[in-house]
């Protein structure tokens, strides 16, 4: 998956070079990314992080200023409403640093299980799989799981996938989902996994 999506220039693979690997940047990017194309998230994340590279600087922006900086990411008004208290919580409860435990991360405003796991894996190198819509869809198509929600998929994958693959799995599967195993009409005829893939639930393909 990693090789094929890298050859095809998956947008998510440019995130690291665009925003860096700092925990705060990864947290902001992941919080902005829900229901938004990566190209849009990268631009919005860069605009916001150039004005507010730390929780302290973010806390000094007003919610309308944050809205303006992150527009047009999906649900930008709601995300801006969460980002401001998120910065205050980081300052108040964690001395202005992004915490490195699951429990602490999900205590932050607007941070759910998916964001917490992605931050733990990407920013802190923990052996955890962040399961988003791409990871959930592809795992079901491949028959690794038979689940209805990303939460169920997360529980099974985190139990069954060997630790050494976990940290990179989210990035590889998101990149693969953007370029080959796309939500609608995946490119099965060009997919390196096609011979072994049962293509569960795929009705139309290319
Ligand atoms: S063969 Fe098709 S459904 Fe299976 S992983 Fe490849 S693109 Fe996805």
Domains located in the chain, CATH noted: 2-188 (1.10.340.30)
Question: Can you tell me which atom of ligand 1 is nearest the CA of 187?
Answer: 7
Specify the pLDDT at position 190. Answer: 96
pLDDT tens column, 116-138? 988 998 889 888 988 889 999 99
Question: Would you say the CB of residue 141 lies under 6 angstroms from ligand 1?
Answer: yes
Whether pLDDT at 75 is above 80:
yes
Question: Would you say the CB of residue 187 lies under 6 angstroms from ligand 1?
Answer: yes
**Which spans in 34-97 are helix H?**
38-51, 55-59, 63-70, 76-94
- CA dihedral angle for residue 147, residue 148, residue 154, residue 159, rounded to 10 degrees: -20
Question: Can you tell me which atom of ligand 1 is nearest the CA of 205?
Answer: 2
* Residue among 85, 78, 86, 98 nearest 36 (CA): 78
C-beta of residue 171 within 8 angstroms of C-beta of residue 3: no
Question: Would you say the CB of residue 124 lies under 6 angstroms from ligand 1?
Answer: no
Q: d(Cα 21, Cα 100) in Å, to the nearest integer?
A: 14
Q: How far is the CA of 142 from the centre of ligand 1 (A)?
A: 7
């Amino acid at each position: 998956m990693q090789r094929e999506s890298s050859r095809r220039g998956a947008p998510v693979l440019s995130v690291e070079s665009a925003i860096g690997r700092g925990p705060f940047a990864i947290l902001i990017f992941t919080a902005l990314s829900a229901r938004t194309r990566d190209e849009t998230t990268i631009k919005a994340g860069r605009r916001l992080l150039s004005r507010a590279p730390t929780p302290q600087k973010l806390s000094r922006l007003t919610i309308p200023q944050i809205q303006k900086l992150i527009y047009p990411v999906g649900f930008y008004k709601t995300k801006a409403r969460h980002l401001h208290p998120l910065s205050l919580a980081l300052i108040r409860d964690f001395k202005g640093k992004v915490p490195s435990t699951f429990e602490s991360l999900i205590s932050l405003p607007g941070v759910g299980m998916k964001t917490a796991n992605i931050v733990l894996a990407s920013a802190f190198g923990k052996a955890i799989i962040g399961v988003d819509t791409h990871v959930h869809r592809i795992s079901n198509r491949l028959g690794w799981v038979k689940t209805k929600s990303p939460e169920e998929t997360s529980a099974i994958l985190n139990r069954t996938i060997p630790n050494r693959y976990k940290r990179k799995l989210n990035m590889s599967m998101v990149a693969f989902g953007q370029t080959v195993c796309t939500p609608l009409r995946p490119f099965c005829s060009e997919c390196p996994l096609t011979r072994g893939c049962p293509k569960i639930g795929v009705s139309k393909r290319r």
